[in-house]
Structure 1
Amino acid sequence: MEELRDTIASARKIVVKLGTSSLVDGTGALDPAKIDRIVDAIEGRIARGCDVVVVSSGAIAAGMAPLGLKARPRDLATKQAAAAVGQIHLAQVWGASFARYGRTVGQVLLTQSDAGSRERARNAQRTIDRLRQMGAVPIVNENDTVATSEMRFGDNDRLSAIVATLVGADALVLLSDVDALYDINPADPRAVRISDVRTGSDLEAVQAGDGGAFGTGGMAAKVSAARLAARGGVPVLLTAADKIEEALGAAQVGTVFHTRPERSLSAWKFWALYAADAEGVLRLDAGAVDAVTRGGTSLLAVGITGIEGEFHAGDIVEILGPDSAAIGRGEVAYGAAELAGMLGRRSDELPEHQRRAVVHADYLSNYASRL
């Protein structure tokens, strides 16, 4: 565990995620003093030669007071209106705080659709990288003004995990209002602190809760995001925002989530599984499911029992078993119209131009080997 904490403490590129509760006061308004303290710690880390990308929640909360809202809105249109007002205010507060150090910030607003498109995801990556190269701090947030309920990251914890893998971060620091992961509500005197998570078995007894009054994440979302980032090869430190100095210092606080190099996904496979938009579905028989989940095996037409959607060659498709259980995802080599006539046929029964794999092993990722 100490070795991983040392690795996080010396990481050269990190993503720092701040939840809404870490940025607002008791009324839900942005608290400049809290943000100044966060920026002070981030600048301290930058001074040690580290590149920092910030994933910041708080846009909806920041827009509530100017619009006269007393409680977090529930309907999509009001959330988007609050975000439209709040994004401006949030960026101004971040900018003013970093300006104390003569540093510029750049706002990067993303939607699930942006991450789901390979070209747009690469554009976002290039923008973030260029901001860092120019000495600016990227401030990333979900673009709540245009995201629909069906096309959302769900919370900025998940967004931070995707951004961390997208930019090739060496570590992800998740900050909220809880100092570590506990097996039950930390307010309960029987709660046991969990200092490190190596596999899913370390979480079997954990009961994680939902978000608070001003946020959407909660501990359950943070654990899910931490496991997601670790699956992509990015170690995670989870702790409270009021311990940010220690978190960005020696990292001897909170809970760390270990990566498992033998199970870490390549950047492409991580994107295909967890960010890409799936354009269709392939349904497999039991034999094909067994072959795919063992890993290293390409998917052939003989094991496919059905298809759904109007996908084209090169699209990402969802792969389901005979019981509709999600098996994985992959890049399909044929369009739906052509593939429809190939289903269930052995390669030697197909014409020469259709004998290549439907999904090559290099472009197929399954859910079986989760952290």
Structure 2
Amino acid sequence: MKYKRIVCKVGTSSLTNEDGSLSRAKVRVITQQLAMLHEAGHEVILVSSGAIAAGFSSLGFKKRPTKIADKQASAAVGQGLLLEEYTTNLLLKKIVSAQILLTQDDFADKRRYKNAHQAISVLLNRGAIPIINENDTVSVAELKVGDNDTLSAQVASMVQADLLILLTDVDGLYTANPVNHPDAKRLDLVEEITTDLLEMTGGAGSSNGTGGMLTKLKAATIATMAGVPVYICSSLKEQALIEAAENQGNGTFFTASAKNMKTQKQWLAFYAASQGSIWVDRGASTALSEQGKSLLVSGISKMSGHFSYDDIVTVYEKDTERILGKGRVRFGQSALQDMLKANKPKGVVIHRDHWISLTPELELLLSEF
């Protein structure tokens, strides 16, 4: 079996009727495929949108709401209804499902990140299918573009999945929006996600969902850098998940990066919140970016923010203001200020094991989230 552990992401547009309400028939199609993958021996994790779609009509809304508070209330009602649909259908196949609601904070906090990983691991080991969604009721920012696309990539990297499948309403990544450009061509294979590719892809997704193709490409960047290949395909095919798991069907396949980013580096790059900034001289910049060395106290030119021991900071080159990366500091800001007053300041501020250099692709990616 090539793909033992599979994360499947299903967007709102793949679960709804034309009026934006939840389609029970579409949910059944998804759960049937999940059950088939499970019975074939795959470990399956579902990242599902659809809570707002499942709940808004129960609150008297005639169509999907646009105000944040209305979305939050609809999600609060719909989350249980959506899970009930999945649970009922999976129980017919004698498969247990489990609900996990996450926010970006759960990834930013290392303790919560570890706890989430452990809970998912236990569920998979016990033969259950975790069903994961953003905690939309409290996550205001996550209700914007790209919510569950990003989440699915983060989950895939967290659990070290063998494949991430992104189900959407188009059959892959095109050179342009196929709706507006009939001559657009689908890219069947993407071996490297470049800044040109990131900048080429844009435009809004379908009216019911919030994740356009750009957010899916960024999700693919996160996953592939963590060593997880990604397949984008259309949910309109009833066996889309099965075909993707068997390397069949029509879609866009993204190969995993040859240089897998370790879990600690993933956390630094994508999740850890920066508490301050450090600017370094040209020599320190070269040592960090090109020579794989640690940052020494002597290389620091200036600092800003209020950071303490063990906090994460962003590092810039002083002359160019170019962002170099992020790292965990061994000294707080006040201690570093005292050390810099010495004639020959010594000490390692950021060890290379706790440092991540930002490539142009990573910098563009992080600037959008």
TM above 0.5, yes or no, is yes
Partner of 2:297: 301
Q: What SS does the aligned partner of 1:109 have?
A: strand
In the alignment, is the contact (CA less than 8 A) between 1:110 and 1:140 conserved in 2?
yes
Answering whether residue 234 of structure 2 is matched by residue 240 of structure 1, we say: yes
CA deviations over 1:53-80 (Å, ceiling 9, x no partner):
1111111222211112234333322221
Answering whether residue 173 of structure 2 is matched by residue 191 of structure 1, we say: no
In the alignment, is the contact (CA less than 8 A) between 2:279 and 2:315 conserved in 1?
yes
Percent of residue pairs identical: 39
Cα distance, 1:290 vs structure 2: 2.6
Q: What SS does the aligned partner of 2:350 have?
A: coil
Q: Residues of 2 paired with 1:214 and 1:365: CA distance?
A: 37
Which amino acid letter does the alignment assign opposite residue 305 of structure 2? G
In the alignment, is the contact (CA less than 8 A) between 1:113 and 1:277 conserved in 2?
no
Please list every run of 5 or more consecutive structure 1 residues that lacks an aligned counterpart in the other structure.
1-8
Partner of 1:3: none
Partner of 2:261: 265
Cα distance, 1:51 vs structure 2: 0.2
Which amino acid letter does the alignment assign opposite residue 200 of structure 1? I
* Cα distance, 1:282–1:73 mapped onto 2, change above 3 Å: farther
Cα distance, 1:150 vs structure 2: 8.2
Q: How does 1:129-278 map to 2 (within 5 A)?
A: 129-149=121-141, 154-187=146-179, 188-201=181-194, 203=197, 206-243=200-237, 244=240, 245-262=242-259, 264-278=260-274
CA deviations over 1:30-64 (Å, ceiling 9, x no partner):
11111111111121112221101111111122221
Please list every run of 5 or more consecutive structure 2 residues that lacks an aligned counterpart in the other structure.
363-369
In the alignment, is the contact (CA less than 8 A) between 2:64 and 2:208 conserved in 1?
yes
Which amino acid letter does the alignment assign opposite residue 186 of structure 1? P
* Cα distance, 1:278–1:153 mapped onto 2, change above 3 Å: farther
CA deviations over 1:297-328 (Å, ceiling 9, x no partner):
10111222222232222222222333444321
Cα distance, 1:257 vs structure 2: 0.9
Partner of 1:54: 46
In the alignment, is the contact (CA less than 8 A) between 1:76 and 1:149 conserved in 2?
no
Answering whether residue 71 of structure 2 is matched by residue 75 of structure 1, we say: no
Q: Residues of 1 paired with 2:331 and 2:357: CA distance?
A: 19
In the alignment, is the contact (CA less than 8 A) between 2:13 and 2:169 conserved in 1?
yes
In the alignment, is the contact (CA less than 8 A) between 2:19 and 2:63 conserved in 1?
no
Answering whether residue 353 of structure 2 is matched by residue 359 of structure 1, we say: no
In the alignment, is the contact (CA less than 8 A) between 2:278 and 2:303 conserved in 1?
yes
Q: What SS does the aligned partner of 2:124 have?
A: helix
Which amino acid letter does the alignment assign opposite residue 283 of structure 1? W
Partner of 1:66: 58
Which amino acid letter does the alignment assign opposite residue 367 of structure 1? L
Q: Residues of 1 paired with 2:95 and 2:282: CA distance?
A: 57
Q: Residues of 1 paired with 2:205 and 2:283: CA distance?
A: 42
In the alignment, is the contact (CA less than 8 A) between 2:328 and 2:355 conserved in 1?
yes
Cα distance, 1:258 vs structure 2: 1.4
The TM-score, its normalising length taken from structure 2, stands at 0.90
In the alignment, is the contact (CA less than 8 A) between 1:83 and 1:145 conserved in 2?
yes
In the alignment, is the contact (CA less than 8 A) between 2:147 and 2:210 conserved in 1?
yes
Which amino acid letter does the alignment assign opposite residue 272 of structure 1? L
Q: Residues of 1 paired with 2:88 and 2:329: CA distance?
A: 48
* Cα distance, 1:143–1:203 mapped onto 2, change above 3 Å: same
Partner of 1:110: 102
In the alignment, is the contact (CA less than 8 A) between 2:146 and 2:216 conserved in 1?
no
* Cα distance, 1:299–1:89 mapped onto 2, change above 3 Å: same
Cα distance, 1:276 vs structure 2: 1.6
Range with greater deviation from structure 2 (325-334 or 212-221): 325-334
* Cα distance, 1:76–1:339 mapped onto 2, change above 3 Å: farther
* Cα distance, 1:344–1:115 mapped onto 2, change above 3 Å: farther
Q: Residues of 2 paired with 1:105 and 1:97: CA distance?
A: 10
Cα distance, 1:248 vs structure 2: 2.9
Q: 1:337 aligned to 334, 337, 343, which one?
A: 334
Q: Residues of 1 paired with 2:147 and 2:22: CA distance?
A: 19
Q: Residues of 1 paired with 2:154 and 2:342: CA distance?
A: 38
* Cα distance, 1:299–1:25 mapped onto 2, change above 3 Å: same
Cα distance, 1:189 vs structure 2: 2.0
Q: Residues of 2 paired with 1:190 and 1:308: CA distance?
A: 50
In the alignment, is the contact (CA less than 8 A) between 1:182 and 1:206 conserved in 2?
no
* Cα distance, 1:47–1:281 mapped onto 2, change above 3 Å: same
Cα distance, 1:282 vs structure 2: 1.9
* Cα distance, 1:227–1:120 mapped onto 2, change above 3 Å: same
Answering whether residue 319 of structure 2 is matched by residue 326 of structure 1, we say: no
Range with greater deviation from structure 2 (264-273 or 197-206): 197-206
Cα distance, 1:343 vs structure 2: 4.1
Q: Residues of 1 paired with 2:198 and 2:135: CA distance?
A: 34
Partner of 1:6: none
Cα distance, 1:369 vs structure 2: 7.0
